[in-house]
Structure formats: structure tokens, C-alpha cells
Amino acid sequence: MIDSTYDQKDRPWFYFISSTSLVMSITTLFFRWREEPIISFSGNFQTNNFNEIFQFLILLCSTLCIPLSVEYIECTEMAITEFLLFVLTATLGGMFLCGANDLITIFVAPECFSLCSYLLSGYTKRDIRSNETTMKYLLMGGASSSILVHGLSWLYGLSGGEIELQEIVNGLINTQMYNSPGISIALISITVGIGFKLSPAPFHQWTPDVYEGVRCYIVGSHPSETTSVIGASVDKRITLR
């Protein structure tokens, strides 16, 4: 709406509004520090100090990404509104993922972040390398997501149809399936799915090809650090359960 009513000369307002919203979110997290944990959305989302640490890091990465990209976007005369929309939507997906407390949110939230990352990697549409990067990133991201949801479906079935993390643990104990081979399949699939998104060895083969065509201000400030923070948060939550 703002883009449709303001002229191109007012583009700095878009940076200001986006940066201000991120700074206000960081300030809100500081005021919430040391408060009692909150479980909302029927147990699908949990807010506590542990989650807020990762949410703060995600907000910090996004806040740094916007001012670093100003000069390049102005020189190339690309659409700023789409870029800011992708960054803020990816940030929102990462924030939800840090507090995810059920399998559905754990799958949907990173897809929200991943889709925006695909679009950011191919933001320079006239660059052949950027187009190649987007295609490789999309294919590898889709493959890793399918492996991840395969592991999550095993957990859902073995626990007796539970989706909340703590209920899954209780369900595995009640059904006495915690020592079954299916648990190994689920954990391996989840590890591989998250591993491809984090790109540690030996899941890192696709990373050089993808990052070669992505602009430095995007790689340095948003997808790489934010993806690592999100992956570490999800891995830690699943491990703690």
C-alpha cells in the first residue's frame, strides 16, 4: 500500500519503516527477558528465554541485512519493496520456528523462511548465475524438505498420532516404540533434512554452487547466519525433548 501511494524518491521511507519494525521487535524481546514461559496457539508455540536468544540473533541478522543492501539496490535500481518483503517474511518464519512446539509448525515455518531465501538468491533476475543459483537452491531445498517431513511423519506415526513435541515423547513411551527401528529412521531423516539446510559436512556439496551466484550482502547477513541459527534452535529443541 505504501509503495503504491509514494513516489520513487520516497524509497528511503521503506528502509526506515522496515528497520524500525525490526528494532522495535528487538526492544520487545529485551522487555520480555526473564518473564515466565508462555504457551500459545493451543500448545503449538512456546515463548521462553531460550527461544528469545535465537529470535534476537535472527532479528539482528535481518537488521544488518537491510542497511548493507541499500547502496547496491539503489545502484541497480531494483524494486526495493519486494526485497524488504522477502527479508521481513523470512524473519517472521524464523521467529515462528524458534518457538515451534509441534511438527506442523516445525515444517511450515522453515518453508516460509526457505521460500523467501530462494527468492532472495535469485533477486538479480538478469544475472545468469543468479538464475542458476535459484534453481539449484530450490531443488536442494525441496529435496531436504521432503526428507525432513518423512522423518517427522515417522515420529507422528510411532507416537500414536501426536504432533506436540512433549506429547510425542509421552506417546513413544506409552506405545513402547522408543526402541524400535522406526525411531532410527525418523532421527536419521530429520538429521539429513536439517543437515542439508544447514550445509555442514557431508551435506555441504551444494553450498559453493549456490552461494557463488548470490550477492554478498545477502549471503553475509541473512541466509547463512539466519539458517544456522534456525537449524541450531530446532536441533536443540528436538534433542532436549
30-61: b (≥16 Cβ within 10 Å) or e: eeeeeeeeeeeeeebbbbeebbbebbbbbbbb
Q: Is 41 left (phi over 0), alpha (psi -120 to 50) or beta?
A: left
Q: Which of 33, 54, 32 is nearest to 237 (CA)?
A: 54
Q: Is 131 left (phi over 0), alpha (psi -120 to 50) or beta?
A: alpha
Distance from C-alpha of 123 to C-alpha of 206, rounded to nearest angstrom = 19
Q: Which of 91, 68, 120, 94 is nearest to 22 (CA)?
A: 91
pLDDT the model gives residue 153? 92
pLDDT tens-digit profile of 40-81?
A: 777 788 888 888 888 888 888 888 888 877 777 777 667 778
pLDDT the model gives residue 231? 58
pLDDT tens-digit profile of 168-219?
A: 888 888 888 878 888 889 989 988 888 887 777 777 777 777 777 776 666 6
pLDDT the model gives residue 203? 75
Q: Which of 105, 132, 115, 144 is nearest to 213 (CA)?
A: 132
CA pseudo-torsion sign 173, 96, 109, 135: negative
Q: What is the 3-state secondary structure (H, E, C) of 143-205?
A: HHHHHHHHHHHHHHHHCCCCCEHHHHHHHHHHHCCCCCHHHHHHHHHHHHHHHHHHCCCCCCC
What pTM does this model have?
Answer: 0.81
> Above 90 in pLDDT, residue 114?
no
Q: Give the residue numbers spanning the domain of 225.
A: 2-240
Distance from C-alpha of 71 to C-alpha of 15, rounded to nearest angstrom = 11
> Above 80 in pLDDT, residue 107?
yes
Q: How many independent structural domains does the chain possess?
A: 1
> Above 90 in pLDDT, residue 4?
no
In terms of C-beta density within 10 A (0-12 exposed, 13-18 middle, 19 or more buried), how is residue 12 classed?
Answer: exposed
